[in-house]
Structure 1
Amino acid sequence: MSFNAKKYIESILHDYPRCDQYIDDRVKNMVQEAAEESLRNSNKDLTEKQIKEALYDGYKDPTIKDPKTWALKRDNNLAGLQENQDVINSCLAELNEKDLKTIAAVFFNNYLTAREAAEHLHVSGAKVSRVTNKFIKAVAKHKGFEL
């Protein structure tokens, strides 16, 4: 394998808690840019100030019905991020409550090491390591990687 799939999966897991906010912000920016472009194309006589006022007043591009779907079709990076989020959600749904707490402690909350997470959760370090490795393998399998 030409890259380290485990490190890639770990980076996806560390970014997971911020995915929703990033996707929402990016969709909002893309919709704003589309509305601005629509205004520019519809009326060439508008000044920059008039365009900014129209956008501030809530002008939306009338051709965009579902902003998130529209943005995902146009931005491959955003679509990949959404796919990663969907994969992680499906893998998290398969976990029991104890394993979910372990994964959250290691990847989502404070990014604890396996040893710190074990002390925090009052379990053995081996248990934390087994749970995290099993979860990483499940995510990798859903993404089509072999570990």
Structure 2
Amino acid sequence: MRTTTKRYVESILRDYPYLDKYIKEREDELMYPVQEPDDNIGGGKGSKISKPQEQMIITLDEDKRLNALRRQQRVIDDCLDDSDDITKTIARELYFKDHPTYTMTGLSKKLHYSTARLYRIQNKFLNKVAKKLNIYEP
């Protein structure tokens, strides 16, 4: 995997604990947009759908940013569900903590695995996430 792709996947993993918050914020932005004052007095008809609930559902379903956040969360959840405890520990310690307490060397001592083996497990997980996100480049 290219280094840039690996770094991008790692940044997505670091954002994972905050994805619920990001999704909620984006939904709120879409549901309660900033209203521009209308200077047109009397004006003509608008082209918007007359049913605001339907318009909101369409807006939420079609928003690219919101869909990307949901997809990232779903992919990471799926990859974690399919992973063993060692992989989950690596992900939790290296990516999901605000201030990681371990490096890969520290994890190898804690988990009683060689550093090389932990790097292979980490790379396998990163490749899996990248493939499911369709950003994998060998």
* TM-score, normalized by the shorter chain, greater than 0.5: yes
For 1:132, give the aligned amino acid. Q
Residue 132 (structure 1) aligned to one of 111, 122, 133: 122
Are 1:102 and 1:121, in contact at CA under 8 Å, matched by a contact in 2? no
Shift of 1:68: 7.8
Give the alignment's TM-score, normalised by structure 2.
0.71
Q: Structure 2 vs 1, CA of residues 92 and 2 (structure 1 numbering), >3 Å: closer, same or farther?
A: closer
Q: How does 1:63-142 map to 2 (within 5 A)?
A: 63-64=52-53, 70-74=59-63, 76-109=64-97, 110-111=99-100, 112-142=102-132
Q: Deviations over 1:4-31 (max 9, x none)?
A: 2111111111111111111112212321
Are 2:10 and 2:126, in contact at CA under 8 Å, matched by a contact in 1? yes
Q: Identify the residue that residue 146 of structure 1 maps to in structure 2.
A: 137
How well do the aligned residues superpose, as a CA RMSD in angstroms?
3.2
Q: Does the residue aligned with 1:95 lie in a helix, a strand or coil?
A: coil
For 1:84, give the aligned amino acid. Q
Are 1:27 and 1:68, in contact at CA under 8 Å, matched by a contact in 2? no
Q: Does the residue aligned with 1:146 lie in a helix, a strand or coil?
A: coil
Shift of 1:97: 2.1
Give the alignment's TM-score, normalised by structure 1.
0.67
Task: Output the CA distance in 2 between the equivalents of 1:15 and 1:132.
Answer: 17
Are 2:30 and 2:59, in contact at CA under 8 Å, matched by a contact in 1? no
Task: Output the CA distance in 1 between the equivalents of 2:58 and 2:111.
Answer: 39
Unaligned runs of 5+ in 2: 42-50
Structure ranking higher in helix proportion = 1
Q: Structure 2 vs 1, CA of residues 22 and 120 (structure 1 numbering), >3 Å: closer, same or farther?
A: farther
**Percent of residue pairs identical:** 29
